[in-house]
Amino acid sequence: MYLIVGLGNPGDKYRYTKHNVGFMVLDYFASAHNISINRIKHKAVLGEGLIGEEKVVLAKPQTYMNLSGESVYELVHWYKCDMSRLIVVYDDVDIDIGRIRIRPEGSSGTHNGMKSIIYLLQTDEFPRIRIGIGRQPDFMDLADYVMSRFSNEEIPLIEEAVKNSSLAIEEIVRNGINSAMNRYNREK
């Protein structure tokens, strides 16, 4: 079983903001695999399905970004999920817009949602898919930037990144993280 967590903030106000790209990936993945994300449990909206013979649980924490760890902690313990089978998908300001980076473990960087998850799980040794949203302009506060919407020029790049991230999740489930890193961490 894989637990796949997309990070974002609940509510229509945040739906298409840069910080919600993790939710966007889970919605795309769910649609591609006919999985309904509609049950509320463990401070998240959940969906379950199969990729081949492998069960997947999709989770969109509803705690707001900075408290994402509360939901992920509950989910990991409820499902007795091995850390190697937890995949967290989220935005990253340190990666160029539209690029994705897959890693088997690592620090939280500047991402408060990941800080919360790592703090409560007491480990950073779980796979993650980071989607680049680019660095904020000098005149803009980081919080304002991640809560902003994508520009018309950025939308095609993010749509491609969402699709590739969804394919990378499937690759991890079917063939492992190394295969996904080899396939999707390449330069454009």
* Residue 19 known to be catalytic: yes
Give buried/exposed letters for 55-92 (b at 16+ CB in 10 A, else e): ebbbbbbbbbbebbbbbbbbbbeebebeeebbbbbbbb
Confidence of residue 107 (pLDDT cuts 50, 70, 90): very high
- C-alpha span between 176 and 181 (Å, rounded): 9
pLDDT digits 0-9 by tens, 51-103: 999 999 999 999 999 999 999 999 999 999 999 999 999 999 999 999 999 99
pTM for this prediction: 0.96
Q: For residue 138, give both structure tokens.
A: 């000098």
pLDDT digits 0-9 by tens, 13-53: 999 999 999 999 999 999 999 999 999 999 999 999 999 99
The active-site residue, picked from 19, 33, 42, 111, is 19
Q: What mean pLDDT comes out for the span 150-158?
A: 96
- C-alpha span between 42 and 71 (Å, rounded): 6
According to CATH, what is the number of the domain 2-184? 3.40.50.1470
